[in-house]
């Protein structure tokens, strides 16, 4: 497997794991387990950094004129990276919304 393909798979693997953690965080918040939700966000961030670092390596290679070529696999990796970033934002918003709902429901009781 070529070097570029390995980097693409490293990006996809890291940010895919991050996205899964962010989705699990939403589910934990929905169940009222906010400590777990926050831990899952942190876990997702760690995985995201792995993918992001691989992506940064590609950008550095290109900046140094080391000749990267854009392939469908690299485009897919970029798409997955951006998707994971969006999922984190959505997860944080859902966690905040679930906390607010729980607080309002507690006031009604």
Hey, what domains does the chain have and what are their CATH numbers?
Answer: 3-108 (1.20.58.80)
Contact 26, 94 (CB under 8 A): yes
Residues annotated in a binding site for Mg(2+):
79
pTM: 0.90
- In angstroms, rounded to a whole number, what is the distance separating the alpha carbons of residues 17 and 40? 11
Q: Which of the following is catalytic: 52, 55, 76, 98?
A: 76
Q: Is 55 a catalytic residue?
A: no
CA distances from residue 93 to 15, 60, 78, 96, 100 in whole angstroms, order as listed: 19, 33, 23, 5, 11
Contact 24, 40 (CB under 8 A): yes
Average pLDDT, the chain: 93
- Taking residues 56-64, report their average pLDDT: 86
Residues 6 or more apart whose CB falls under 8 angstroms from that of 13 comprise 50, 51
Q: With a cut of 80, say whether residue 94 has pLDDT above it.
A: yes
Q: With a cut of 80, say whether residue 41 has pLDDT above it.
A: yes
């Amino acid at each position: 497997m070529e070097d570029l393909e390995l980097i693409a798979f490293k990006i996809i693997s890291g940010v895919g794991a991050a996205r899964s953690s962010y989705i699990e965080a939403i589910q934990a918040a929905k169940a009222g387990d906010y400590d777990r939700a926050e831990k899952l966000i942190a876990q997702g961030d760690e995985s995201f950094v792995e993918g992001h670092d691989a992506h940064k390596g590609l950008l550095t290679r290109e900046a140094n004129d080391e000749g990267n070529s854009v392939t469908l696999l690299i485009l897919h990796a970029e798409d997955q990276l951006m998707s994971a970033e969006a999922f984190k934002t959505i997860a944080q918003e859902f966690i905040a919304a679930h906390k607010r709902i729980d607080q309002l429901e507690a006031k009604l009781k």
